[in-house]
Amino acid sequence: MTIDNYFVWRGETEKQFQALTEVMELKSLLQTHIEALGFDAFAFLVQHPVPFTRPRIFLFSTYPEKWLKRYESQNFYAIDPILVLCQQPGRGVEWTQDVFAEAGAFWAEANAAGLQSGFSCSAMASNRAIGILSISSQRSGQTQLRRVQLEVQLHFLAELSLRVLDRLNDSSMVVLSNDFSQRELEILKWTAEGKTSVEISLILAISEHTVNFHQKNMQKRFNVSNKTQIACYAAAIGLI
């Protein structure tokens, strides 16, 4: 693909994604694009930035159903190196035996399920959710000498997919409620700076009781146990 062809493709593709009115249409459009790239199936995984130790995951996929069930039942999420390597948005990862070397029988099982070759790349949403787009082929060698092309195009497709899910208010994009008042955001900011409730009350010229009241309410909304977690989660999702 030449530079000129890429920009034509980019413009037409963006229009196609902008025209989507239902989330279910996204799966079909992605499948069309990955087939145009010469691949058979895809998985688009949306991973929330919080909770840190057990982030929520949503999956849109055309992978073989048998493989998806196997992946879920064996909790391959915990050992899949693609989920780690793609935390850096825009970085393409070609599936090779070396990439999966530390994942036990994972790669062999994927091959047996028809995933002989593949490529993955990710994008990040404004709320810091990561969207990892992986494409697979039943034929080996489909990614050879195509790293740059696949990296650029998959990153853009992942970015557009996140935009669609966000625009259509899909549950996969609701990381945490972000309907915070200006006062709550101010308290969050100073909490993140390590200020105590007393110090925040003096800085904002409000009572300590008011500071504690807002912090307790935010703890409930974030479903966390203390104000330190509030600040960490708020920073993780780009709220402050």
Nearest to 129, CA basis, from 170, 167, 172, 164: 172
pLDDT of residue 13: 97
**The pLDDT of residue 236:** 81
Whether residue 53 has pLDDT greater than 80? no
Q: What's the farthest any 2 CA atoms get from each other in the chain?
A: 66
Q: Round to whole Å and give the CA distance between 49 and 61.
A: 21
Sole residue written with tokens 């625009």: 167
Indicate whether 48 pLDDT > 90: yes
Torsion from C-alpha of 20, 82, 135, 3, nearest 10 degrees: 80
Backbone angles phi, psi at 44, to 5 degrees: -115, 110
What is the predicted pLDDT for the residue at 123? 98
User: Rounded to two decimals, what is the model's pTM?
Assistant: 0.83
User: Which domains occur in the chain, in start order?
Assistant: 3-173 (3.30.450.80), 182-236 (1.10.10.10)
Q: Determine the distance from the C-alpha atom of residue 129 to the mean position of all C-alpha atoms in its chain, rounded to a whole number.
A: 4
